[in-house]
């Protein structure tokens, strides 16, 4: 059985896996060294906090989700990144319940910020960016495995 938190993270990962042209996604919190196919996207959970505690048997939680996007090119790596980035953003923006529907745990999923583009090595044939989204979801106060 998966916790609600893991259900949410896996839903975001499923969105990434559906992006046209995606290479490795590899799960949650996978290191760049394991990448075989670019562009590569990975997610990790960031800060989490309770935003509402007084809703019966439920609590609402907001959690940052960090998406690392990596591209590789021997010519203009920043241009490759700028061409791929909108594909990810468009997929994320398409469904604020991240595929879990109106009866699922997610109440909102929205874009917060993006990092500066950064090189990962000195040859600069690999470039990346981190997107931060905020997801609000609910779970039972007495059971982190249930939202109903």
Q: Is pLDDT of 140 > 90?
A: yes
- Give the per-residue pLDDT at 33: 65
Q: Is 55 helix (H, G, I), strand (E, B) or coil?
A: strand
The pLDDT value given to residue 29? 61
Domains within the chain, CATH numbers bracketed: 4-140 (3.30.70.1700)
Place of tokens 């989490």: 48
Write the DSSP symbol of residue 147.
-
35 or 123: which carries more pLDDT confidence? Answer: 35
User: pLDDT digits over 91-118, tens only?
Assistant: 999 999 999 999 999 999 999 999 998 8
132/121 Cα distance (integer angstroms): 23
127 beta partners: 71, 119
pLDDT for residue 73:
85
Count of H-run helices and E-run strands, the chain: 2, 5
Q: What are the two backbone dihedrals, phi and then psi, of residue 94, each rounded to the nearest 5 degrees?
A: -70, -25
Considering the chain, what is the average pLDDT of its residues?
Answer: 89
User: Cβ distance 147 to 141 under 8 Å?
Assistant: no
pLDDT in tens, 27-86: 666 666 667 889 998 899 999 999 988 778 899 999 999 999 999 888 888 889 999 999
């Amino acid at each position: 059985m998966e916790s609600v938190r893991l259900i949410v993270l896996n839903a975001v990962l499923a969105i990434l896996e559906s992006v046209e042209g995606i290479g490795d996604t590899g799960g949650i919190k996978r290191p760049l060294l394991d990448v075989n196919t670019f562009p590569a996207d990975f997610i990790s959970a960031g800060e989490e906090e309770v935003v509402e505690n007084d809703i019966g048997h439920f609590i609402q939680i907001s959690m940052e989700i960090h998406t690392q996007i990596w591209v590789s090119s021997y010519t203009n790596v920043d241009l490759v990144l700028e061409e791929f980035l909108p594909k990810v953003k468009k997929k994320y923006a398409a469904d604020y319940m991240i595929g879990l529907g109106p009866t699922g745990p997610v109440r909102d999923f929205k874009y917060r910020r993006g990092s500066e583009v950064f090189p990962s090595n000195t040859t600069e044939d690999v470039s990346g960016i981190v997107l931060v989204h905020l997801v609000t979801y609910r779970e039972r106060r007495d059971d982190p495995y249930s939202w109903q």
